[in-house]
């Protein structure tokens, strides 16, 4: 039962970070998705391409093959070469679909099974936790770049600046209850 709660929680968290990326994309022009601060930085498109490559490598046949696939070309993931918004969003959706399809194969019985990433053994739970740290790290970069570009026109994805007191007051007016932090946010979309 406890593992079921874990599996439900991690799925909701991955869905939340996917949505944060999509809410950022929606605020940006096509040109902004491909903008780089300098040659050593990544555009949003490049970050999406890297996430796509990582997700496909880690989660394709994850129960039977190493998470670092021979066919993965990680270095090419950092070329800023997606063609347009549609290409970018297709990669985004394919990567996330691969992850969610893999998570559908995880259950209480196999959560502690050992899988490998670059020949290093991880329980499936450890592999999930590894990626639950990695993907939000990059989604945070996407959001930060978007916020920089939009400046004062940025529509906050969480509690808007100056809104903490009002937000907290509304929360504390409610009785104590069990909820996942993403549920309220996901209902808004």
**In 104-163, which ranges are continuous DSSP H helix?**
124-150
Separation between Cα atoms, residue 130 and residue 35, nearest integer Å:
28
Separation between Cα atoms, residue 80 and residue 76, nearest integer Å:
9
> Which domains does the chain show, CATH number per domain?
2-158 (1.20.120.450)
Q: What is the mean pLDDT of the chain?
A: 93
pLDDT of the residue at 83? 82
- Other CB atoms within a 10 A radius of the CB of residue 50 amount to 20
Mean pLDDT of the 128-135 span: 98
Supply 145's token pair.
């770049």
pLDDT of the residue at 81? 87
Look at residue 188 and tell me whether its pLDDT is greater than 70: no
What's the pLDDT tens digit per position in 98-121? 999 999 999 999 999 999 999 999
What's the pLDDT tens digit per position in 70-108? 999 999 999 888 889 999 999 999 999 999 999 999 999
Q: What is the per-residue burial (b if ≥16 Cβ within 10 Å, else e) of 120-159?
A: eebebbbbbeebeeebbebbebbbebbbebeeeebeebee
Look at residue 164 and tell me whether its pLDDT is greater than 80: yes
Flag whether the pTM goes above 0.85: yes
**In 34-82, which ranges are continuous DSSP H helix?**
44-59
């Amino acid at each position: 039962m406890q593992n079921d709660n874990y599996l439900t929680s991690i799925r909701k968290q991955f869905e939340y970070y996917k949505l944060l990326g999509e809410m950022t994309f929606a605020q940006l022009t096509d040109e902004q998705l491909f903008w780089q601060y300098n040659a050593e930085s990544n555009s949003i498109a490049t970050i999406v391409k890297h996430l796509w490559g990582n997700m496909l490598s880690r989660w394709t046949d994850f129960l039977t093959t190493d998470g670092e696939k021979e066919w993965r070309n990680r270095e090419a993931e950092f070329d800023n070469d997606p063609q347009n918004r549609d290409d970018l969003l297709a990669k985004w959706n394919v990567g996330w679909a691969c992850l969610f399809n893999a998570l559908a194969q995880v259950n209480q019985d196999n959560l502690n099974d050992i899988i490998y990433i670059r020949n290093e053994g991880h329980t499936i739970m450890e592999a999930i936790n590894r990626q639950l740290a990695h993907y939000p790290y990059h989604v945070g970069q996407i959001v930060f770049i978007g916020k920089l570009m939009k400046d004062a026109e940025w529509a906050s994805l969480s509690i808007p600046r100056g809104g903490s007191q009002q937000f907290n007051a509304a929360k504390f007016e409610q009785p104590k209850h069990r909820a996942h932090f993403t549920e309220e946010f996901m209902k808004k979309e």
